Structure 1
Amino acid sequence: MTEQHDLGRHPPSYYAACALPQPARPALAGSVRADVCVVGAGYTGLSAALHLQDAGCRVLLLEQARVGWGASGRNGGQIVNSYSRDLDVIEARHGAAQAAAMGAMAFEGGRILRELVARHAIDCQLKDGGLFAALTPRQLRGLEAHQRLWERHGLQGLQLLDREAVRRQVASERYLGALLDPSGGHVHPLRLAQGEALAFEHAGGRIHEQSQVTRIERGARVRVHTAQGMVEADQVLLAGNAYLGDLEPRLAARSMPCGTQMVATEPLGARAKELLPGDHCVEDCNYLLDYFRLSADARLLFGGGVVYGARDPARVEAVIRPKLERVFPQLRGVGIDYGWTGNFLLTLSRLPQVGRLAPNILYSQGCSGHGVTYSHLAGRLLAECARGQAERFEVFARLPHLPFPGGRLLRAPFSALGAAWYALRDRLG
Structure 2
Amino acid sequence: MSHTEYPDSYYAASALPHAVRRQLQEDLHTDVVVIGAGYTGLSSALHLLEAGYSVVVLEAARVGWGASGRNGGQLVQSYSRDVDVIADKYGQDTARMLGSMMFEGSQIIRERVKKYQIQCDLKDGGLFVALSDKQVHGLREHKALWEQYGHKGLEFLDARQTQDVVHSERYRAALLDHWGGHIHPLNLALGEAAAVESLGGKIFEQSAVTSIERTAKPIVRTEHGSVQAKFVVVAGNAYLGGLVPELAAKSMPCGTQVIATEPLGERWQEVLPSDYCVEDCNYLLDYFRLSGDKRLIYGGGVIYGARDPEHIESIVRPKLEKTFPQLKDVRIDFAWTGNFLLTLSRLPQFGRLNDNIYYMQGYSGHGVTTTHLAGKLVAEAIKGQSERFDAFASLPHLPFPGGRLFRVPATALGAWYYSLRDKLGI
TM-score band, normalised by shorter chain: over 0.9
Secondary structure of 1:286's aligned partner: coil
1:143-154 counterparts in 2 under 5 A?
Answer: 143-154=139-150
Name the residue aligned to 1:189: 185
In structure 2, the partner of 1:381 is: 377
For residue 217 of structure 2, the aligned residue among 221, 241, 259 is 221
Segments of 5+ residues of structure 1 without an aligned counterpart are 1-5
Matches within 5 A, 1:196-345: 196-345=192-341
Cα distance in 2 for residues equivalent to 1:189 and 1:318: 24
Distance 2:269 2:292 in 1: 11
Q: Distance in 2 between matches of 1:322 and 1:402?
A: 36
Distance 1:218 1:289 in 2: 40
Q: Which runs of structure 1 show a deviation greater than 2 angstroms over 4 or more consecutive aligned residues?
A: none
Q: Quick one: structure 1 residues 7 and 404, their matched pair in 2 at CA, closer, same or farther if it must change by over 3 Å?
A: farther
Separation in 2 of the partners of 1:408 and 1:386? 33
Which one of 92, 99, 102 corresponds to residue 98 of structure 2?
A: 102
**Count of aligned residue pairs for this structure pair:** 424
2:351 match: 355
Identical pairs, percent: 62
Unpaired segments of 5 or more residues in structure 2? none
Contact preservation (8 Å) 1:308, 1:412? yes
Distance in 1 (CA, whole Å) between partners of 2:283 and 2:3 is 32
For normalisation by structure 1, the TM-score amounts to 0.98
Give the whole-Å Cα distance in 2 for the aligned partners of 1:207 and 1:157.
37
Residue matched to 2:418 = 422
Distance in 2, matches of 1:241 and 1:77, equals 18
Rounded to whole Å, the distance in 1 between the matches of 2:409 and 2:17 is 41
1: CA distance, partners of 2:66 / 2:340: 8
Partner of residue 361, structure 2? 365
Per the alignment, residue 63 of structure 1 pairs with: 59
- Report the Cα distance in structure 2 between the residues aligned to 1:275 and 1:331, rounded to whole angstroms: 9
Q: What are the residue-to-residue correspondences of 1:36-185 with 2, within 5 Å?
A: 36-185=32-181
Give 1:7 shift: 4.8
**Offset from partner CA, 1:245-265 (integer Å, 9 cap, x none):** 000000000000000000000
Alignment partners' CA distance in 2, 1:58 and 1:319: 45
| Helix, strand or coil at the partner of 1:414 | helix
2: CA distance between counterparts of 1:345 and 1:297? 30
Task: Measure, in 1, the Cα distance between the counterparts of 2:117 and 2:106.
Answer: 16
CA contact (8 A) 1:30 1:229 kept: yes
1:128-150 CA distance string (max 9 Å, x none): 00000000000000000000000
CA contact (8 A) 1:26 1:210 kept: yes
1:17 equivalent in alignment to 2:13: yes
Q: Which residue of 2 aligns with 1:3?
A: none
SS at match of 2:284: coil
**Taking structure 2 as the reference length, what is the TM-score of the superposition?**
0.99
Counterparts of 2:199 and 2:246 in 1: how far apart (Å)? 34
Give how far 1:382 is off: 1.0
Q: Does 1:395 align with 2:391?
A: yes
* 1:171 aligned counterpart, secondary structure: coil
Distance 1:286 1:384 in 2: 36
Q: In 1, Cα distance between the equivalents of 2:74 and 2:103?
A: 14
CA distance in 2, matches of 1:56, 1:139: 47
- CA distance in 2: counterparts of 1:410 and 1:79, whole angstroms: 33
User: Deviations for 1:360-387, whole angstroms, at most 9, x for unmatched residues?
Assistant: 0000000000000000000111111112
